[in-house]
Amino acid sequence: MTTAQNSYPGFPGKIGRTRAESEEHFTLPVRPAKGSPNVVVIFMDDLGWADIGCYGGEISTPNIDALAARGLRFNHYTTHPICSPARAALLTGRNAHSVATGWLAQNTPGYPGYSGEIPLDAPTIAETMRAAGYATAMVGKWHNSPNYATPNSAWPTYRGFDRFYGFLQGETGYFFPARIMNGSTIASIDEYPEGYYATDDWTDKAIQFATDIRNHDATRPFLLYVAYNAVHGPLQAKEPDLAKYRGRFDAGWDVLREDRLARQKALGIVPPDTQLSERDPAVPAWADIPGDQRKLFARYMEAYAAVLDCADQNIGRLVAHLQRMGELDNTIIVFSSDNGGTGSAGPAGMINFNRGFAGLPNKPIAEEVARMDWIGTGKTTALYPSGWGQVSNAPFPSYKTYTGGGGRRVACIVSWPAQFKDVGAIRPQFGHVTDLMPTLLDLCGVPTLQEANGKPAQQPHGASLAPLLRDAAAPPSRTEQYYECWANRAYYRDGWVAVSLQVKGKEVDFHNWTLHRHADDFSEITDLARQHPALLQEMTEAFDKAAWANMVYPLDSRSRTQKFNSQPPHQRPPATSTRRFLPGGQSVHPGAVMPLLVDRCYTITIRVAQPDAGQGVLWAIGDVSGGMVAYIEDGRAKLFYNGFGSYFSLLGPDVVAGERWVMLEYEAIGQRRGRGRLVVDDSAGDWGELSATFMGSIHEGLDIGLDRRGPVSWEIKNKYGAFRYTGLIHDLVIVSGAFSPDTVLTAQ
């Protein structure tokens, strides 16, 4: 007989041959301390400092204002002034460049501070709180992965979130989100139900996640990250919310900026002597704008207000649910934004903003006026004129992507009814987005991780704001911070800020710094650089030191077209390519399709078994932002082309019953112009213009046999819905050919 062991390796109990001879041991799960609070982080998108009521806005935000009344407001809280970097800093507590996210996650230029993928040894707040026993869930916008198409270690469920429902890319439509993920799987959605709206959906899932967590465990606290895409473009809103704001902005942006500043002074959110920054020289005075254009411009702000109003309603629903759960008092709620209001659409705005991503100029203003009723609907991807961005950011100058006050200073509210005593108060101490993770860990009693994914964990750069949340007289948690975005730079230290703004598409000017003192210049409009040259020199040297330490260099001031189309060599358009796609799967991600089509010649051929009277969509690429759809109707091949707001149709030959192939032949002829024709079994239709050539961003990818979710053609959607093809599809093949003779793209 063999000799008995006392135990198995690593088992603390005793093991005998029978239970009577053994001693059990149980490893208890890690749990937070009894009474630990829930945490809800509500992160808005492109919301300016002045938009909500408790910061001076006229838009109806009673539920956000109620958070402020139950909590504390910061009036000197800052952020990295664009989406992905701000989110990376929120998630890790570290400066964005130091976690490889100095720019948009999907546009990596090939430098360490800009790969777009948060390193695995920089633990997220979700990973940290989950390790401490918290349940974790997220809804809405991620935008912290360079690869949207294939599940990978940069996706939310791989970075600490038990549950995720939302989208991975930078923007999507509100009525027809392009690619909703449920965990790490694409949600199987062909058509959205009548009345669908993304902000409502994110909130429904947030409420469901909170309920599920509590139903399965009566005491486990949770972290819930609610990342609304509101109020980011496209400006699409529900009709009742739009109706509420008709005519409310007819006074124009000059009057509204003055009104907001007056309310800010009355609220005490700004000092009484605060001055309004000058109107952007590129923005016309409202009184000088022709009447029809004023009506057009006001429509944009009506839509923006409606998007924000709906988000506020949903925040109210979420808070009410926490109240019904009996957990509102012991829930920490943080409300903030990733950056300030934007000036990206220029002085006149754009009814189809994706034209900008596609490197195309604005449409003639007369065309925009004629289509003003589209603004706010699902027909297009509207974004407001930059004059409204200045209203959004009042009293500060500049916008999103800039390191002036308008880009980096945003609202921040922290509520914890069970703990905070001087609710409704304003905290003037400095705070930054990197401080949120250390603050929440501190308030929850959760330690930072010392190891992450087998490596020593990078520690947060931020400092806890908990002392000053509990004590209005507490000193600032820290007094220095650098900023960089699109080669714009800033450095804050002890009440002073140095700012350097650049011209996109021009060489970086390393000497154009301005200097501002917050004590008597809250809105950062008085330049003191000449009066304090030694101090400015210290500040610029401090920026340089921080820039090297955080992998900020090299600065990149290229144009929007160049930066937004920046891809590593293995993702760039191939010189030639043939790709075969099969029916029956979910939508093919645009990242897998667009390189085959951008600013180049190509053919798209689909093989079908056509039944008698068969009809429907053969394939569709894109949506209302831009794209094309090939279909059979009344026995004939047809194509509708949306060239980012320029619309064309082709008629092809008849498609009779039997085994058939249908091909789009496309030629890119230069200056972003193109032409195409439909071919059926060697019988060709006429050539017709199909411009502009594809480039930049579209929301939807490739659908085979139907047009899922967001339609390319509004007319086809209204007539047929997704318009499933009634025949059998064998396969679809894209053959990529020569690039346009004057393309700005580089083949691999």
Same structural domain, 558 and 574: no
What's the pLDDT band for 564 if we cut at 50, 70, 90? Answer: confident
User: Coil, helix or strand for 130?
Assistant: helix
**Can you give the pLDDT at residue 606?**
98
Same structural domain, 553 and 579: no
Same structural domain, 626 and 680: yes
What's the pLDDT band for 149 if we cut at 50, 70, 90? Answer: confident
Alpha carbon distance 633, 655 (integer Å): 9
Asked if pLDDT for residue 1 goes beyond 80, the answer is no
User: Which tokens in the block code for residue 309?
Assistant: 């109003």
Asked if pLDDT for residue 569 goes beyond 80, the answer is no
Residue 10 is assigned to a structural domain of this protein? no
Which segments within 360-405 are labelled E, that is strand?
Answer: none
Write the pLDDT tens digit of every residue in 304-324.
999 999 999 999 999 999 999
Give the CATH number of the domain where residue 580 resides: 2.60.120.200
CA 351 from centroid of its chain's CA atoms: 19
Percent of the chain predicted with pLDDT > 90? 92
Average pLDDT over residues 214-227: 97
Same structural domain, 503 and 577: no
Same structural domain, 526 and 447: no
Residue 621 is assigned to a structural domain of this protein? yes
**Can you give the pLDDT at residue 562?**
82
Give the CATH number of the domain where residue 524 resides: 3.30.1120.10
Same structural domain, 177 and 236: yes
Write the pLDDT tens digit of every residue in 171-206.
999 999 999 999 999 999 999 999 999 999 999 999
Q: How many CA atoms lie within 13 A of 437 on its CB side?
A: 26
**Can you give the pLDDT at residue 39?**
98
Active site (catalytic) residues: 83, 143
Residue 19 is assigned to a structural domain of this protein? no
Write the pLDDT tens digit of every residue in 115-129.
999 999 999 999 999
Structural domain boundaries, residue 650:
568-739
CB 54 within 8 A of CB 73: yes
Residue 129 is assigned to a structural domain of this protein? yes
Alpha carbon distance 39, 595 (integer Å): 41
User: Which tokens in the block code for residue 559?
Assistant: 């144009």
Write the pLDDT tens digit of every residue in 666-695.
999 999 999 999 999 989 999 999 999 998
Alpha carbon distance 386, 367 (integer Å): 19
Adjacent-strand bridge partners of 647: 642
Asked if pLDDT for residue 225 goes beyond 70, the answer is yes
Asked if pLDDT for residue 604 goes beyond 90, the answer is yes
Residue 557 is assigned to a structural domain of this protein? yes
Alpha carbon distance 283, 711 (integer Å): 34
The secondary structure element, H or E, covering residue 675 is strand 673-680
Average pLDDT over residues 492-504: 97
Q: How many CB atoms lie within 10 A of CB 42?
A: 24
**Can you give the pLDDT at residue 40?**
98
Average pLDDT over residues 20-41: 95
Write the pLDDT tens digit of every residue in 370-426.
999 999 999 999 999 999 999 999 999 999 999 999 999 999 999 999 999 999 999
Q: Kindly compute the dihedral angle of the four CA atoms of residues 374, 377, 381, 387, in this order, to the nearest 10 degrees.
A: 70
Out of 162-166, 260-264, 572-576, 703-707, pick the least confident.
572-576
Asked if pLDDT for residue 587 goes beyond 60, the answer is yes
What's the pLDDT band for 14 if we cut at 50, 70, 90? Answer: very high
Same structural domain, 215 and 284: yes
Same structural domain, 67 and 130: yes
Backbone phi, then psi, for 191, in 5-degree steps? Answer: -140, 140
**Can you give the pLDDT at residue 148?**
81
Residue 747 is assigned to a structural domain of this protein? no
**Can you give the pLDDT at residue 287?**
98
Percent of the chain predicted with pLDDT > 70? 98
Asked if pLDDT for residue 36 goes beyond 60, the answer is yes
Same structural domain, 370 and 504: no
- Mean pLDDT in the chain? 96
Same structural domain, 136 and 164: yes
- Nearest residue to 230 (alpha-carbon basis) of 307, 336, 138, 344: 307
**Can you give the pLDDT at residue 669?**
97
Same structural domain, 384 and 412: yes
CA 4 from centroid of its chain's CA atoms: 61
Average pLDDT over residues 330-334: 98
Give the CATH number of the domain where residue 338 resides: 3.40.720.10
Residue where a domain terminates, one of 563, 590, 612: 563
Query: Is 35 exposed, middle or buried, given 0-12, 13-18 or 19+ CB atoms closer than 10 A?
Result: exposed
Instruction: Name the domain count of the chain.
Output: 3
Adjacent-strand bridge partners of 609: 659, 728
Residue 1 is assigned to a structural domain of this protein? no
Alpha carbon distance 621, 748 (integer Å): 23
Alpha carbon distance 501, 508 (integer Å): 9
Residue 577 is assigned to a structural domain of this protein? yes
Residue where a domain terminates, one of 517, 548, 563: 563
Same structural domain, 249 and 179: yes
Residue where a domain terminates, one of 483, 517, 542: 483
Alpha carbon distance 510, 432 (integer Å): 25
